[in-house]
C-alpha cells in the first residue's frame, strides 16, 4: 500500500529542519564488468559491485533567519563548505535514512507571485544507514 509523504521530515542531529516541502535521496553503487572471454555458453555480462554513494536534494519555504538549527545550519554549511553531520531524511514519521553530507549547491528563489524557496543539493560522505 502506498503511503503519503505528509509525515515526511528532515533533521540535522535531533533538530527539525523547518518548512521542508520535499526531499529526494539517490543511492547508487559503482560496478565493473568482469565477464570472462571464451567462457563456454557466456551470453550475459557479469559485474562486481564497487563503491556506493548517495546524493539528494531538499526544497523548503525560506526561513533561514528563523530556523537557527535547521535552515541556518544548511546555509552556513553551504557558505563555509563544511559537512552537515547526522542529516536524517524521514519518508514517514518513524523510519529514516541518516548520514553526513556536504552541500554542493544552494538556491534561493523569489517570485513576485509566490513564496521564497530555499533548495539545496547534497553529496553524502561516508556510509548511509536506514533505521
Q: How confident is the model at residue 65 (pLDDT cuts 50, 70, 90)?
A: confident
Q: How confident is the model at residue 39 (pLDDT cuts 50, 70, 90)?
A: low
Q: Global pTM?
A: 0.90
Average pLDDT of the residues in 17-28: 97
> How high is the mean pLDDT of the chain?
94
100-128 pLDDT tens trace = 999 999 999 999 999 999 999 999 999 99
CA–CA distance, 11 with 30 (Å, rounded to integer): 28
Domain positions in the chain are 7-130
The yes-or-no verdict on residue 67 having pLDDT over 90 is no
Fold (CATH) for 7-130: Pnp Oxidase; Chain A (2.30.110)
CA–CA distance, 47 with 49 (Å, rounded to integer): 7
Average pLDDT of the residues in 14-36: 95
Amino acid at each position: 500500500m502506498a503511503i503519503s509523504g505528509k509525515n515526511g521530515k528532515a533533521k540535522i542531529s535531533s533538530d527539525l529542519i523547518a518548512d521542508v516541502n520535499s526531499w529526494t535521496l539517490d543511492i547508487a553503487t559503482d560496478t565493473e564488468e568482469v565477464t570472462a572471454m571464451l567462457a563456454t555458453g557466456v551470453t550475459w555480462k557479469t559485474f562486481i559491485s564497487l563503491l556506493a554513494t548517495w546524493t539528494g536534494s531538499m526544497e523548503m519555504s525560506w526561513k533561514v533567519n528563523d530556523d537557527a538549527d535547521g535552515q541556518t545550519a544548511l546555509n552556513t554549511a553551504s557558505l563555509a563548505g563544511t559537512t552537515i553531520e547526522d542529516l536524517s531524511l524521514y519518508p514517514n514519521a518513524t523510519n529514516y535514512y541518516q548520514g553526513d553530507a556536504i552541500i554542493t549547491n544552494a538556491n534561493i528563489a523569489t517570485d513576485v507571485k509566490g513564496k521564497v524557496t530555499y533548495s539545496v543539493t547534497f553529496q553524502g560522505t561516508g556510509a548511509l544507514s536506514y533505521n
